Every structure is written in structure tokens, then in C-alpha cells.
Amino acid sequence: MKNLMLLEWSKLKWPVLISMIGLTLTVSVLTGTLYKGYSLEHDLEAWEIGIEIIVFLFPLVAVIPVCWLMYFERKDQFLMYTLPRVKKSRYLWSKWIVVASSSFLIMFIAMFIGVITALYFKPEITPVYGLVDTATGNTIPRLELQHFLGSLFVHHPLAYGMLLGLWQGLLSAIIATLGFVISLFVRNIFVILTGPFIYVMLENFILSLLRYESFRIYISFNPEFYNASKYGYWPLLFGPALVLLVSALTLFYFAKIKKVTVYPS
């Protein structure tokens, strides 16, 4: 298994490294520049402003660098050559592990370096408080009161950034799993690479329409001002759980109902 995974890594190495470096630079540059037009209370807010566009594009970032591999291996019938050497399930599992962990790595590294840029490299901000205390009439800090995990965000921003980076990496791996499942059965590269993004957009639209905004995977990816005391933490798990469910249903539909085979039959 280890050798198989190393083999898969060698195939994905360059696209993953290039995407990681590109995304890290983008996040760092956006974190270091965009915040200047905003009134902030805390340095880490610069990172939240910088990653807004990445949050929107994260289903594409999670899938494009890694999910093309299966499409080409099916297209050029490379899979046939693996049959005499390795069991189908072992090959596919090792490939999924590398695809999901590469996607995790790209997102986590880029986001975490963005956090470090916001906290240590960017010039320190002058805090501007926007919340007015009705009793005194003075402006007071709002982040600790209103931000998701406010206390951790204000007092241990590095830990908050690292934990959220890990969570974002995990969500990225879950989305890559959906892309990987699609790539096992579909022969259209556009559906494989952009299908998860379209899914996330649809999920976002439908849940907004049904007034379940807090259940959206976008909120889960970047909770910012998500009110955990009001809704609890479990709605944040709904989005990723739904993606896993959709992946399982896709797998079931193609394998059992449509009877599509991964390997050429």
C-alpha cells in the first residue's frame, strides 16, 4: 500500500506542489493587501478578508489539481496495465488516499501560511472598535462577543487559524472525494473538475432558499460570525455530511443502478 501511495504521489506531485505554492502566494498577497480598506479589530481579520475569494472557489481548488488523474488513467486505458499487478480495490483506495490528502495539504498549508502572514508579516493594524455599549455609549470590542469561537480568535489567533486551517483542509479533502467518485465513472473532464463546485453552488442556493443558511458548506468552511451559541455546532457538520452522502449515492447510482465499471470491461 505504501509503495502504491508513493507511486500515486509521484504522479500528482508537481500539480499539487504548483497549486500549493500558487494558492499560498495568492492567500498571502491578498491577506497582506486587501485589509487596508477595512476597519479591523484584530490582525487575523485581515486573513478572513483575504480568503473571501478562496472560500468561494474552494471546491475548484480542492478538485482541479488532483481529480484529473483518474480521468486520464481511464481514458488512455492505463488502468488495464495495473490489473495484473495490483488488486483493483487496493489501487483505488491508495489513489483516493493520495487524492484526498493532497487536497487537504494544498488547502491547509495555504490557509495556515495566510494566518502566519496576517499575524507576523503584515504590519500591525490599529484596532477600530465598531460596537457601541448602550450603557456607556462608548465603542467596545465586538470580536470576542460575536465572532465564531471569539475567545480563541482574540486570545490565541494562531491556534484558531491552525484549527480552522485543518478543518478547511478536511472539507477540501471531502470535496475532493466527491470529485474522485465522479471521476471513477464519468468520462467528461468538465463534469469531473467542476461538478463538485456546481454541487456546492446548488447546495448554497437551495439551502438559502429554504432559509437554512447556517447549514451551508460555505458557512462550515468559513464560520466567521456563525452564532454557535444559538444554533449549536452540529449544523457545521451538515454540509460535509451531505457531501459524503451525495458521494455515496453517486457511487451507488453508477455502480449498482447504471452498472458503470471503473475498469474497462
What are the residues binding another protein (CB under 8 A)? 56, 188-191, 194-195, 197-198, 201, 205, 208-211
Q: How near is the Cβ of 180 to another protein at its closest, in Å?
A: 18
Q: Which is nearer to another protein, 104 or 218 (CB)?
A: 218
State whether residue 170 is helix, strand or coil.
helix
Q: Which is nearer to another protein, 213 or 224 (CB)?
A: 213
C-alpha to C-alpha distances, 117 to 42, 113, 123, 214, nearest whole angstrom = 13, 6, 10, 29
**CB-wise, 183 or 194, nearer to another protein?**
194
DSSP type of residue 257:
I
Which residues pair with residue 140 across a beta bridge?
131
| Nearest-angstrom CA–CA distance, 66 and 18 | 12
| Residue 139 DSSP SS3 | strand
| Close Cβ partners of 111 (under 8 Å, ≥ 6 residues apart) | 27, 51, 54, 161, 164, 165, 168, 169
> Which spans in 86-156 are helix H?
88-116, 143-146, 150-155
Q: Minimal distance in Å, beta carbon 1 to another protein?
A: 33
User: In this complex, which beta carbon is closest to another protein, that of residue 155 or of residue 187?
Assistant: 187
Task: Find the shortest distance in angstroms from Cβ 86 to another protein.
Answer: 29
Least distance CB 203 / another protein (angstroms): 13
Decide whether 210 or 257 has the Cβ nearer to another protein. Answer: 210
Min dist CB 221 to another protein, Å, is 15
